[in-house]
Amino acid sequence: MPVRGERGATLRRGRTMVRNDRQQKVEPMIKKEKRKLTPWVIYSRIISFWAPGVLLAKLGKMPDPGMQQAWREKIALVSLIVFVCAAVVYLTIFLAMTFCPQSVAKTQDNVFHYNDEFSGPGVIGIRGMAYSTESATWTSNLDFTPVPGQDLTPYFNVPFPESCRSSELAGLRAPMYDVCSNNNGNDGCPLGNIDKAIKENNLTKLDDRPVGYDWDDVQSGFFVLNGKVLNLTPYLMVVDKKAKSGDMLDEAIFGAANNGLVDATLLFQRTSQMKAAAQCLTDRFSAGVLAKDTAGCFAVNLFNYIALAIIGGIVLTRFFMAVIFQYFLSWQLVRRPPRNKVRPLSYNAAAPWSGKKPQTGGANVNLGKGEEDELYTIMLVTCYSEGDESIRGTCDSLCSTDFSDSRKLLFIVADGIIKGSGNDRSTPDICVDLIEQDEAFRDPQPCSYLAVAAGSKQHNMAKVYCGYYRTGEHRTPAMVVIKCGAPTEQDAPKPGNRGKRDSQMILMNFFSRVLFNDRMAPLDYDLFRKLHHLMGVTPDLFEIVLMVDADTKVYPDALRLLVNCMNNDLLIMGLCGETKIANKRDSWVTAIQVFEYYISHHLSKAFESVFGGVTCLPGCFCMYRLKARKGDDWVPILTKQEI
């Protein structure tokens, strides 16, 4: 049947275009995720408002918003540190000056105490000061020598103070009260004018300290006002303990007297008139001062005692816990582990492609009787511009440790083609000359890897030399990695230099790819085959890495003791030994570092070790676990891909 080329035919075929199974889901457009404005982000932007993004991009060479935010957060951290330091300085120095001024503190500490000194024989009080009556010649019929410790101010005619002449006090009875009234209970002022009477009666002022009262010493008729003790007994007697109607000051005085109120300070703080009256009463009826701390001084002293108790408690706790670790715990960690420790059969069980149970058909390792507690260990030494003496001293000490040469590997990384000051050769040449190269790998070729850098610096190349390091009777397998740089940077200064962290990551990335059976970079493959050639075992048998700087020397038993700790406690992820200053007498800086290093190790780290969580390990001498045992399996630790 002939096909008719009609228009409708094409339209009918169009139905096949709308079948459900042929419809393709439209992929949503990728939207850039916006960072949430957390309180920390907001604070970092506020504290760094003076540095706009344009300025950071132009002058700071930070065009990326992420880099700018990271810089702002650093400024925020610095500001928090400054605020905390300022708070510590204020609490240490200026808190007492604010709430307990020196004048107040001096008054409280420098008084003539009522019970201890003022109540002794031959001592009386006049206007708040202590006088001696031992040589007194009384001109009147009164003799106060037999009654020590009394306030004799009401017996004198005291000049009217200027503070009581204020117009605010007009109409108030107490400021205008005649202290020498005949009905004041003392028959007026029998001793006469105060200044003249003191001389005529030969009263001797003991010293410049005021009379100090405790709360229990404040008798009836005495009041405390703004830290001063007032003797209002004559006034209360002359007016028959009855307040004048409408007199606010009288109502306050008699209200306090009738209710047994000792401290009347609050009653005189309500109005300006009452504050003026308080000064007037203090000038007229002062009998001494309160020898007790004010609220401010009490709070300051309480804070100081609490802070002292907390700080002292922390220091003593840290000290005794450090002593416990030093004498009761550390020896258990460093002792030789028992010979019958169970070891997993499959060393590659950390890989994701490995089963949970050890494969009996796999490559089981015969650990041997004498070496079963010596874990395969890599001794990493990172170099930059050190000389032959420094690097050789470090390598000699590492290879001379009392640890089997078949279980340790010296791994040296030279960070770039660099010649240090005073050296006759470059650091890579020095490192290569230290080892006896293996003839099978005599002339290594540069191999590429991804460095810890940005841009074109991310591509780097390195040569791997392998052989043996000889010192004394030891012949230790050794590998030297020379970061030589890509061909494009050979004419640049310091080709291949990427930093110490990149040198460490070469080793960590290598073991991570080995344990996870991940795709290797050319450098990783070169490391694998040369390490296998030197050690006779595959790299997945290595469990421990010891990181040492090129200017550090270790004791002969250091490696064995650290590995014993790893063997005795399978939960240890990292540890370190004590770091000592070799040139402590070269300068005053090195001399004081001895104390710093000693305290850091024997106090801080020893205290933290009791709880199994040391916050910081020194980069010059530390050991980490590459993988940990869990039953018959392995769990990657430092080699985990997320780390």
Contact status, residue 152 vs residue 125, Cβ threshold 8 Å = yes
β partners of residue 290: 213
DSSP 62: -
In this prediction, residue 544 carries a pLDDT of 96
In this prediction, residue 600 carries a pLDDT of 92
Torsion of CA 43, 46, 48, 52, to 10 degrees: 130
Tokens matching residue 289: 């001062």
Q: Considering only CA atoms, which of 376, 398, 168, 378 is closest in space to residue 273?
A: 168
In this prediction, residue 231 carries a pLDDT of 86
In this prediction, residue 323 carries a pLDDT of 95
DSSP 193: B
Please give the Cα distance from 206 to 245 (Å, whole number).
43
Domain edges within the chain: 36-99, 107-292, 374-553
Q: Considering only CA atoms, which of 499, 504, 503, 525 is closest in space to residue 513?
A: 525
Please give the Cα distance from 53 to 51 (Å, whole number).
7
In this prediction, residue 350 carries a pLDDT of 46
Contact status, residue 610 vs residue 330, Cβ threshold 8 Å = no
Q: Considering only CA atoms, which of 438, 434, 437, 436 is closest in space to residue 391?
A: 434
The separation between CA 243 and the C-alpha centre of its own chain, rounded to angstroms, equals 62
Tokens matching residue 327: 């004498």
Q: Is 44 buried (19+), middle (13-18) or exposed (0-12) by CB count in 10 A? A: buried
- 149 torsion bin: left (phi>0), alpha (psi -120 to 50), beta (else): left
Contact status, residue 548 vs residue 411, Cβ threshold 8 Å = no
Please give the Cα distance from 297 to 211 (Å, whole number).
19
Contact status, residue 540 vs residue 350, Cβ threshold 8 Å = yes
End-to-end CA distance of the chain: 72
Within 13 A of 441's CA, how many CA atoms are on the CB side?
A: 26
Local mean pLDDT, 10-residue blocks, the chain (643 residues): 44 50 60 75 94 89 89 95 96 88 65 62 79 75 67 82 86 82 72 82 79 80 86 77 82 85 85 89 86 78 94 95 94 82 48 45 42 84 94 96 95 95 92 94 94 91 97 95 94 92 95 93 96 95 95 94 93 93 90 92 93 90 92 86 80
Please give the Cα distance from 451 to 500 (Å, whole number).
11
Please give the Cα distance from 377 to 356 (Å, whole number).
25
In this prediction, residue 295 carries a pLDDT of 74
Angle, CA 419 vertex, CA 417 and CA 424 arms, to 5°: 130
Round the CA-based radius of gyration of the chain to a whole number and report it. 44
Tokens matching residue 36: 């949430």
CB atoms within 10 A of CB 529: 14
- Measured CA to CA in angstroms, residue 274 lies from 47, 252, 278 at distances of 47, 9, 6
3-state secondary structure labels for all residues of 527-577: HHHHHHHHHCCCHHHCCEEEEEECCCCCCCCHHHHHHHHHHHCCCCCEEEC
Contact status, residue 577 vs residue 552, Cβ threshold 8 Å = no
DSSP string, 369-382: SSSTT---EEEEEE
Q: Catalogue the long-range contacts made by 247-256 (C-beta closer than 8 Å, 24 or more residues apart).
A: 247/171, 247/172, 247/173, 247/174, 248/172, 248/273, 248/274, 249/172, 249/173, 249/174, 249/175, 249/273, 249/274, 249/277, 250/172, 250/173, 250/174, 253/174, 253/223, 256/223
Please give the Cα distance from 634 to 354 (Å, whole number).
10
Contact status, residue 290 vs residue 128, Cβ threshold 8 Å = no
**284 phi, psi to nearest 5 deg:** -90, -35
In this prediction, residue 576 carries a pLDDT of 94
- Beta strands, E only, 127-189: 129-132
